[in-house]
Structure 1
């Protein structure tokens, strides 16, 4: 008889050997093949070290849990090249858009309390957005044209990036107007941000297309309005403190700044220049506590957030969200009618849930990002990355501090190292 080789992620069905009561079928135990093997660890080490040695990143660190246990940690290179300060486990980094899933989690705690419905109009809670208009191009004289809303922005639009807020520099007339509004000035409060945003027409009709933008910053104000508590206080009380994420903050106190990584801008192959503009974002208290970016964190802190998600909303006997809420967040909310999806398809076979990309199909080619159907994840502008793989009970956090966002294929190679060669 020929032997049959099982694929890497196949399930092994094992029947219990103990005697069972009459009439009862033997119990079946489903065992997943281990993902992070000795070979996988060697692959990950090789990939991260090679990027550092190439001079295309200053430093990198990664932490992976599988089945609730730490299975991989390592760090390479520097958090500060000039001082030869090594990248370490407790290095603090700028996570940029990895702030977004934390904001979404804070918002969904209010959803669980019945404070709002996803299809409620945004203006019900933030009336500043009640009388919006929609961009309709420019006339022959270059004057911007607008049209009425077909429907109002919903909260669901905010959570899946279909609200219509402009977020590009090349929209004739509209981009200039949005820049002039200066809504994201860190001296603004969240309310002032919304007032300024509301004076600018939407780029497209709500629900018409997917376009990344300031929707999650508006979610922060939504949390503030519904709860009656300043956003930074609410997220601290309901997400960060319950999860003991003590080093995930908008402000880094002086005593911890020696652990704050520098951020580097890649100018070319092996050429890095230290960023000099973002440091003060985190060393002073600013009025604008953005929901879409602005937090700093450490590997272990962010892993606690990821572990809460893979354990369906709870960690260490603390329930942050209910399992059905996590499932809702990790479900694709983009209908087929949303065909314009900007750069989202570059992430692979994904849709978008509530502040997460959601993998809906396996990779079609070796050039696509590796991942398992059901995975949900996001990344940050400084090339950080995390994902939650419920199928394999695996969570991964990758920290680097690199601008522009991953132009070197780091995320692709890191995923390949974790899961193995395609098809995995």
Structure 2
């Protein structure tokens, strides 16, 4: 689905918040043996295509900064960084700068659920109504994006697998149209934030307070599709946050902090940026008529406020170094720096294709591909992207992990979700040729 860049009069909410990483590097990485590419890199062949892309975007002032992070196996990553925290600023962006990662939150939430599945506290195909009774008798719109009163009963229960893979039939305020969109806004089912400033076309709906209230209100509205029938980008990873709370007996944000972030050494990943860390926070820009204009300045960012509830689908701020540690943990099948954070089986299953056999991807963003625990699966790769230009993936066949951080909206104003993996492909191809 293509989106138009926004202008000075209107911004597409869908384009602002959508984040689907293009994993084109998968095929090239899969055909590039780790030992050979690692030898080529140690011989002086680095990442010229990636470096060139980063330098071009920053030097042309399309973005204030851009940082690519690439790592082989369990080795320390290489950082390719250009630019300052904000246009016209003097503080250089680096591996510890902070970025709004939006939908790159989804794989984190997905892996949290996989941990509970591995421990037997959740079932992959468990109906969520066993934990959240309000979901026991769901209804479905007769007509997609049509009336919210002309409905039929759901033909099957919503399961954890369906939440992980966007096949539960849930909607998304940034995707749906018509009455269901209005109902989501009226009920405060707004699992994301952009700015404290009023932005034309974005809307000013106020999110409900509390993940429990979010889940209860969502259950009272009809589904847009029958559960298990089609991949449709949705609020399912946000609802999964509530499932994780009930299954674990712990607040969702606390579960992430104590079970993933702290054990993995991720010291710069939060739902709220601490005041003490504002000095390394980037500014987010809206691209208007080809010009970046500040839409969420770091010192007045909405991410300095406590969110209405922890958004499991789009709420985290992180750094290139921190997100690389998450990817490194996944690439190590749950182990990082000799410490086990997740079970190996949980990672293997979570990064595999979990789409229900009954669900189709035809006509969707992931047509012909797989989907795992909150991320796309393709050619040995697992990952996803964010609405503000970020993208990240691991490739198990090559033993490669990669993420790119920058800040602009909408994500399709520049082709970075495609350009970064394509640059990685070009460099991998060069490494492979040098090593052959």
Q: 1:135 aligns with which of 102, 122, 141?
A: 141
Contact 1:265–1:403 under 8 Å retained in 2: yes
Deviations 1:384-422 (A, max 9, x none): 111101111111111001100143222322222222179
Whether 1:395 aligns to 2:414 is no
**Stretches of structure 1 lacking an aligned partner (at least 5 in a row):** 1-6, 13-29, 360-372
User: Which residue of structure 1 aligns with residue 233 of structure 2?
Assistant: 212
**Residues 243/350 of structure 1: CA separation in 2 closer, same or farther (3 Å cut):** same
User: Which residue of structure 1 aligns with residue 150 of structure 2?
Assistant: 145
Deviations 1:145-188 (A, max 9, x none): 10111011111110000011112565332222222211234451
User: Which residue of structure 1 aligns with residue 219 of structure 2?
Assistant: 198
Q: TM-score, normalised by structure 1?
A: 0.83
User: Which residue of structure 1 aligns with residue 269 of structure 2?
Assistant: 248
Contact 2:98–2:280 under 8 Å retained in 1: yes
**Residues 136/64 of structure 1: CA separation in 2 closer, same or farther (3 Å cut):** same
**Residues 206/139 of structure 1: CA separation in 2 closer, same or farther (3 Å cut):** closer
User: Which residue of structure 1 aligns with residue 76 of structure 2?
Assistant: 70
Alignment map for 1:23-172 (pairs within 5 Å): 31-34=35-38, 36=41, 38-70=44-76, 72-137=78-143, 144-167=149-172, 168=174, 170-172=176-178
Q: 2:256 aligns with which of 231, 235, 239?
A: 235
| Structure 2: distance between partners of 1:263 and 1:97 | 15
Whether 1:386 aligns to 2:392 is yes
User: Which residue of structure 1 aligns with residue 319 of structure 2?
Assistant: 298
The structure having more radius of gyration, on CA atoms, is 1
Equivalences, count: 384
Shift of 1:374: 0.8
Q: 2:355 aligns with which of 318, 323, 334?
A: 334
- Taking CA–CA contacts closer than 8 Å with sequence separation of 6 or more, which of the two structures ends up with the larger relative contact order? 2
Deviations 1:189-223 (A, max 9, x none): 00000111111100010011111111011111111
Whether 1:308 aligns to 2:318 is no
What secondary structure, in the 3-state scheme, does the structure 2 residue paired with 1:282 have? helix
**Stretches of structure 2 lacking an aligned partner (at least 5 in a row):** 1-27, 191-205
User: Which residue of structure 1 aligns with residue 195 of structure 2?
Assistant: none
| Structure 1: distance between partners of 2:401 and 2:295 | 30
**Residues 169/101 of structure 1: CA separation in 2 closer, same or farther (3 Å cut):** closer
Q: 2:371 aligns with which of 352, 356, 367?
A: 352
Q: TM-score, normalised by structure 2?
A: 0.81
Whether 1:272 aligns to 2:292 is yes
What secondary structure, in the 3-state scheme, does the structure 1 residue paired with 2:83 have? strand
Contact 1:344–1:350 under 8 Å retained in 2: no
What secondary structure, in the 3-state scheme, does the structure 2 residue paired with 1:291 have? coil
Contact 2:32–2:398 under 8 Å retained in 1: no
Answer 1 or 2: which has greater helix percent: 2
**Residues 288/394 of structure 1: CA separation in 2 closer, same or farther (3 Å cut):** same
What secondary structure, in the 3-state scheme, does the structure 2 residue paired with 1:137 have? coil
Deviations 1:332-370 (A, max 9, x none): 122565334554238xx63101111000xxxxxxxxxxx
User: Which residue of structure 1 aligns with residue 202 of structure 2?
Assistant: none
| Structure 2: distance between partners of 1:157 and 1:409 | 30
| Structure 2: distance between partners of 1:162 and 1:100 | 14
**Residues 36/98 of structure 1: CA separation in 2 closer, same or farther (3 Å cut):** farther
Contact 1:32–1:392 under 8 Å retained in 2: no
| Structure 2: distance between partners of 1:328 and 1:230 | 25
**Residues 165/10 of structure 1: CA separation in 2 closer, same or farther (3 Å cut):** closer
Contact 1:209–1:340 under 8 Å retained in 2: yes
| Structure 2: distance between partners of 1:71 and 1:158 | 32
Deviations 1:14-47 (A, max 9, x none): xxxxxxxxxxxxxxxx944337574442221111
